[in-house]
Amino acid sequence: MAFLHYPSANVEKKGGRTVGRQYQSVIMMIFLSLVMLGGIGSRLFYLQLVEGDRNRKLAEENRILLLPRRPARGTMFDRKGKILAGSRLSHSVSIWPIALPVEQRDQVVKRLAKLLEIPEDEIQQRIESAGYESTQSIAIARGLSPAQTTALAEYASELPGVRVEAEAIRSYPNGDLAAHVIGYTGEIDEEEYDTLADSSQDYRLGDIIGKMGSEKSFESLLRGVWGGQQVEVDSAGNVLSILGEKPPESGQNIRLTIDLELQKVAEKALGDKIGAIVAMDPRDGAILAMVSRPTFDPNIFSTRITQAQWEQLNSRGNPFLNRSLQAYPPASTFKIITTTAGIESGTFPANTVLPTFPNINAGGIVFWDWNNAGFGPLGFDGALQWSSDTFFYQVGMRMGHKPIIKWMRKYGFGAKTGIELVTEESTGLVPDDAWKQEIFEEEWYLGDTINMTIGQGYMQVTPLQTAVMFAVAANGGYRVKPHLLLDGAESQQWKTSLGMRPDTIEVIQRGLRKVVTSGTGTRLNVPTIPNAAGKSGTAEAPPYENHTWFGAYAPFEKPEVLVVAFGEHSGGGGGSFAAPMVKQVMEAYFNGPSEKDKEKSKQPKQSAG
C-alpha cells in the first residue's frame, strides 16, 4: 500500500501558529500609520480650532502692524477766546523694533544718533525698553528741523524700520506768558506710564502728556483718543497695503478764566522781581491773572530739551515753582483774621477802642509796634488803617490763640483752596498746640500768640489763600473756591458762607477802605481806579530781606476784582513795593491796557521751538 508524503512545513503542529504570519507586518504598518495620522490630526485640530486665534495672531504680527496716530491735543483759550496753547505742524521720527534687522541694529542706531544729535545709548535704551519684538513704533525724536527731515529721507535705504511722519506738536504763541497757569507737555516717563497705563485712556510709552499747570490738570479733556492704520508690511517694514483705519479723536477745546490782556499787564507789573501776583473775581473765585517769577517758556518742552537748556533754566532760581501757590508768612494782611476772631469770639465788641503803645512787654520779652511809637487810641478799623501791632497784640493776649486758629481754618488756611492745580499747591501751615509739641516738643507760649496776631511766627499762607481771605471781606462773608476752568457755573456753586456777624464784616470793610484813603495804602487812592479797599503787609525773614504784600479790591461799593501782589525777599514795605503793582493791574482791569501796551502786544513774540 502506497502512502502519500506531505511536507512537514505544511503540517500545523499542536500548540504552534503559522497561519497569517505573512500579513502581520502589513497590519502593524497600517496600525502605526493610523496612530500617527490620529496624533497629527488631533494636533492640527488643537492648533487650528483650540489655539487657532492665538497662532494666527502670532503669525500676523510678523507681517501686520498697527501704525498708531496721535490725536490732536485740544486748544486752550482764555476767557475771551484768545489762544493760550495750540498746536503746530512738525515732523517726528520713530522705529518699529520688529522691522529692525538684527544685523543692522547697531548701524541704524549710529546713523540716527548722528543725524538727530542724540546719544546712541539713549536711542538704544528706548528700543530695549519696548523690546526688539515690539510691533509698536517707538518715538525717537520730535520737532525735527527741515535739515534733519531731509537727511533722514536721503538715508532712508540705510534705515530699515525707521519712519518719519508729520505730526502736531504743542505750541504756546505767547511764549512765557502765564506759563505757570498753562503749564507744558512732554513725553511720558516710565514712572508716569506705570501710573497711567491702567487708565481708560490708552497711554503708551512715548506718549505726550501734560506735565504741569492746566496741561496736567485738564489732561483727560485735552488729550483725545488714539487712532491708527492696520497695515501689511514686508520683512523690512515697508507698507504693502492698508487693511483698515481708525481716525484719531481730537481732544476737547477748553476755555480758562484767565484774561490774557490782564495777564500781560500783571506780568509787566511784576517784571523781573521774584514773587507773584493773583487777580481774582471775589464773587465766584474765577482767576483772571496769575503770575509767578522767575518763569520759563513752555515751548522748549515741545521738542527735545538739551542739557544746556535745562541747566540755564534752573540757574534762574527754580522757574518751575508757582509762587502763587507756595506758602510764606502773611504779615499784616493777617490782621483781617485777627479782627474776625476778636469780634466773632465775643471777647471784643465791634466798637472796641484800645490804647496803642510803642511796645508791649509780655513774659519779659518786648514786642514793638512797627513805628516804635504807637498810634494812640484805636478801634478795629483804625488798627487796620494804620496796621498797629500793639493793638492786635492786646487782642491776642486777652482772647488767646484758639479763636485765631479756628478762624484761620474757616478762612481756608492750612488746606488747599480747591483750584485745579492741585499737585502744585501748598496747604500752608496753621500751627497749633499739637503741632508745636510734635515739632519742637514745647508747649504753646504767649509769645507765639502775640506773633500770630500780626501774621508772623510759624504760620504759612500762599498768595492764592490770601486772595481768598480778601474775597471774604469783598463779597460780604463768603469763602470762594478759586478755579481756572470757565464752565459757566453759577457763582453760588463756588462760595460758602462763613456765618460772620454783619458788624464784623462792616468793621473789616471800613478798616480796609481807610487803609487806602489815609493809611498805609494811599498809593491806590487815585482817580484812575474806582474806590478801593486793601491791606499791606511786611514780613520779616531774617537773615534775608523782608517779604512784602499788598491786597486790594474794587469798586469798594460793589467789588468785582481783587488783586494780591507778593514780593519774595524784596525788601521795603508792602505799601511801597507791592501796592504799585496792584494799582497797575487794577488800572488795566477798569480802563484797559495803555496805548503803549496795546502797540507792544501787537508785535510778534519770539519763542523757542
End-to-end CA separation in angstroms for the chain: 128
Q: Three-state SS for 463?
A: helix
- The answer to whether the CB of 409 falls within 8 A of the CB of 417 is no
- Burial level of 580, CB count in 10 A (0-12/13-18/19+)? middle
Residue 393 · residue 453 · CB < 8 Å: yes
Map out the domains of the chain with their CATH numbers.
64-255 (3.90.1310.10), 260-311+325-600 (3.40.710.10)
Mean pLDDT of 241-257: 86
pLDDT at 427 over 90: yes
CA distances from 59 to 43, 63, 160 (A): 18, 7, 21
> Is the predicted pLDDT of residue 6 greater than 50, yes or no?
no
In this predicted model, what pLDDT tens digit does every residue of 537-566 receive, in sequence order?
Answer: 999 888 899 999 999 999 999 999 999 999
pLDDT score, position 606: 43
What's the pLDDT score for residue 89? 83
pLDDT tens readout for residues 40-68: 455 444 445 544 554 454 345 556 666 67
pLDDT exceeds cutoff 80 at 13: no
Pairwise CA distance, residues 343 & 461, whole Å: 22
SS3 for 74? coil
Q: Residue 59: its pLDDT value, please?
A: 42
Tell me if 523 sits within 8 A of 580, measured CB to CB.
yes
pLDDT band at 209 (very low <50, low <70, confident <90, very high): very high
In which band, very low, low, confident or very high, does the pLDDT at 490 lie, cut at 50, 70 and 90? low
Confidence category of residue 119, pLDDT binned at 50, 70, 90: confident
For 501-548, write each residue's pLDDT tens digit: 999 999 999 999 999 999 999 999 999 999 999 999 999 888 899 999
- Largest Cα span, the chain: 172
**What pLDDT is recorded for position 4?**
35
pLDDT at residue 11, as a whole number = 40
Per-residue pLDDT at 489: 62
Confidence at residue 99, expressed as pLDDT on a 0 to 100 scale = 74
Query: Are 517 and 525 a contacting pair, CB within 8 Å?
Result: yes
- Choice among 27-31, 223-227, 461-465 with the minimum mean pLDDT: 27-31
pTM of structure = 0.82
Q: What's the confidence (pLDDT) of residue 54?
A: 45
Task: Please report, for residues 368, 372, 376, the alpha-carbon distance to residue 355 in angstroms, rounded to integers and kept in the order given.
Answer: 14, 14, 6
CB 282 within 8 A of CB 569: no
Identity of residue 21: R
Residue type, 589: Y
Q: Tell me: pLDDT of 21 over 60.
A: no
Q: Percent of the chain, pLDDT > 90?
A: 58
Cα torsion 527, 528, 529, 532: sign: negative
By mean pLDDT, which of 43-52, 138-147, 225-234, 350-359 is the weakest?
43-52
- Averaged pLDDT, 174-192: 91
Averaged pLDDT for residues 215-226: 92
The residue ranking higher by pLDDT, 191 or 177, is 177
Backbone angles phi, psi at 165, to 5 degrees: -145, 155
Distance CA 332, CA 353 (A): 19
Categorise residue 509: left if φ over 0, alpha if ψ from -120 to 50, beta otherwise: alpha
Q: Average pLDDT of the chain? A: 85
